[in-house]
Structure 1
Amino acid sequence: MTYLMVLGGLVLLFVGGEALVRGSVSIARKLNISELVIGLTLVGFGTSVPELVTSLRAIGQGAVGIAVGNVVGSNIANILLVLGLAAVIRPILTNPRALSRDGAVMLGVTALLCALIWFDLFTRLAGFGLIGLLLAYLAYSLVADQKRDTQAGAMHAAEGEIVQAQYGLFLGLVIAVIGLVAVIIGARLLVDGGVSIARDFGISETIIGLTIVAVGTSLPELATTAVAAYRGKSDVALGNIIGSNIFNVLGILGVTALVQPFSVRGNTGAAEMADGATTSLISSLDIGVLLLSTVLLMLFAITRKRIARWEGAVLLLAYALYFGLLFGLVPVPGILTNA
């Protein structure tokens, strides 16, 4: 029964996330909202709604490891799994000029996330700060990208155009509402099932969040990115991943900390915290893989102006290695043990 809950949650998150994005895009087009705005907000961030709802559900259940592991694991999965798979399907041509601003923001946001985890600063004030940074980023991007001839502006507009949704105002609203309800139910099933699995098998809730939950909530990004890569919309595939990773940190953790401040250390409602208050739910291994994957993404994207198939294979191999380290199939180097 538990496995059916998890499977059902994954299916509902995927289907609901897709419906929510398509319904919202259809409404936006009927309201004559530009493809630039659609791409920068509804598509780039709409695919992260499953992560948001799942993290809120987890934090409400006291499963801090799942809530934080979901964000960290999703950002890792977006780069190593989703982008790696997209590059294997078709090499991703990149435009360093279009990626320079958003890529730099993603690097800075990732470093900020690592600092928040290291110093355990997920307070309500931090939540306000993260949401403020997200709004500032959106405002600056919209102002800077108003001209379609700018590289970044064209990329974000293409993100909106890739979504085929012309349902009309009423039908679009119905589809969006159904999608949101499906995401909410799916998040509940996934979190409750994940917690049960962790308790039954003695697995850390954080590991469940970093793996099963993170991959499940990244399915909308996987679908959008794979379709974009297959259609030869390389910059859209890459731009979607970068935008999603930015929103995961600033939006999801910002809203989560604002609704209910939490701690990644000590006995904060996570059953796995049995070895003292100084133990962090997110280990040095997780932080290291997050930083390394982000740097690898920018390195592959900027050098030679493409992410080749072999580079995509390297990303997928790195994700498989990370899984092996998490579940003890590969020995963890002493430098990466929990701090």
Structure 2
Amino acid sequence: MKESLPYLLFLLGFIMIIKGSDWFIDATIWIAKVLRVPNIIIGATLVSICTTLPEAMVSSSSAINGNASIAFGNALGSIACNTGFILGLTIILSTPAILQRKKLHRTGMFLVFLMALLTTFSFVFGEISRVTGFMFLGILVLYLYHNIKDAKMSPAEVAEDKAIAMTKGIIAKNTIMFLVGITLTVIGADLLVKNGEIIAQKLGVPDIIIGVTLTAFGTSLPELVTAITAIVKKAHDISIGNVLGANILNVILVIGLSSSILPFDIQPSWLSYHIPFVFGIVLLLVLFSFLNKKKFRRWNGVLMVGAYAAYIYFLVTGNML
């Protein structure tokens, strides 16, 4: 039982993060509506930040505990998982139409710019410094401001201003959900990081592998659930937008926040393998968005999932570049 305890606690951490962040998000949106925060701001800023909460919590917890490998690996691994696996699978199953081409291209190119910036800093300086972290957080503020401005200018259905229920029971329920949700997320992230390190030591694998595989997949579950829901409801553009937005926030929020806590010394394998491979998967998505005129093709998704599978295969087998 003692030998399996780290694995059970690691799994428990996953469950706590997913359930905790779900409750926290619901309660936060309710509180925002009670405070009469416009829906447009909730959608453009609050929801996007909250759905990246698991990655932010895990990477920040890793940084606080002095483990840069899991912190950085979780952010990179989430980008690879979101793009290669989740979005690739979405394309295979539904071949989504390319809607709002200009916005898709603009968002995609902004993500490429951020990845190029991250790659450049890694190669030139050999670290992601605290100054770089604060710079990314500054970009985050500008990004959210632009989202609000863009959302206000976009045509949208005018929703009725419905009164928000304010009974004692509902207030108590949302207050408890908020407090329990954030508590579960914080404790879950701590369990995930600490037991991930123990598992890595037991299996004799580097922390970066735990970060880009198990931890990244676990913290990407909200995006996977969103993608599945979008497929069922035939709202595929939601899945694409959610993945691109999550990837952008993984750079400017997750890496920005964690590196402002603990600067990352870039390891050789990060430069020769992880960063180039993840950058390549992102470029595939952006390239397909330009090449296809009306919708993504099934073979696009196959190639993206294949690229992600190759990334994980070479990583796990140790045949890294």
1:324, distance to aligned residue in structure 2 (A):
0.7
User: Which deviates more from structure 2 when the two are superposed, residues 19-28 or residues 234-243?
Assistant: 19-28
Q: Which runs of 5+ in 2 are unaligned?
A: 158-163
Match of residue 11 from structure 1: 15
1:10, distance to aligned residue in structure 2 (A):
1.4
Q: Distance in 1 between matches of 2:89 and 2:26?
A: 23
Answer yes or no: is 1:135 the counterpart of 2:141: yes
Identity score, percent: 31
TM-score normalised by the chain length of structure 2: 0.87
Q: Deviations over 1:135-182 (max 9, x none)?
A: 112112322331232xxxx6xx9xxxxxxx999655334323222111
Q: Which runs of 5+ in 1 are unaligned?
A: 158-164, 266-279
Map 1:241-280; keep pairs closer than 5 Å: 241-265=243-267, 280=268
Q: Distance in 2 between matches of 1:286 and 1:83?
A: 19
| Count, aligned residues | 306
Q: What secondary structure does 1:307 align onto?
A: coil
Aligned partners of 1:26 and 1:169 also within 8 Å: no
1:281, distance to aligned residue in structure 2 (A):
5.1
User: Which deviates more from structure 2 when the two are superposed, residues 169-178 or residues 253-262?
Assistant: 169-178
TM-score normalised by the chain length of structure 1: 0.83
Aligned partners of 1:85 and 1:316 also within 8 Å: yes
Q: Give the aligned CA root-mean-square deviation in angstroms.
A: 2.3
1:23, distance to aligned residue in structure 2 (A):
2.0
Match of residue 160 from structure 1: none
Match of residue 295 from structure 2: 306
Q: Distance in 1 between matches of 2:36 and 2:232?
A: 28
Aligned partners of 1:45 and 1:243 also within 8 Å: no
Misfit runs of 4+, over 6 Å:
none
Q: Distance in 2 between matches of 1:5 and 1:91?
A: 38
Q: Deviations over 1:227-281 (max 9, x none)?
A: 123211122111111111111111112112222333224xxxxxxxxxxxxxx25
Map 1:1-339; keep pairs closer than 5 Å: 1-95=5-99, 96-118=101-123, 119-149=125-155, 170-265=172-267, 280=268, 282-302=270-290, 303-328=292-317, 331-332=319-320, 337=321
Q: What secondary structure does 1:84 align onto?
A: helix
Q: Distance in 2 between matches of 1:72 and 1:321?
A: 15
1:100, distance to aligned residue in structure 2 (A):
2.6
Aligned partners of 1:51 and 1:71 also within 8 Å: yes
Highest relative contact order (Cα 8 Å, sep 6+), 1 or 2? 2
User: Which deviates more from structure 2 when the two are superposed, residues 165-174 or residues 197-206?
Assistant: 165-174
Which residue identity does 2:104 align to in structure 1? L
Q: Which has the higher helix share?
A: 2
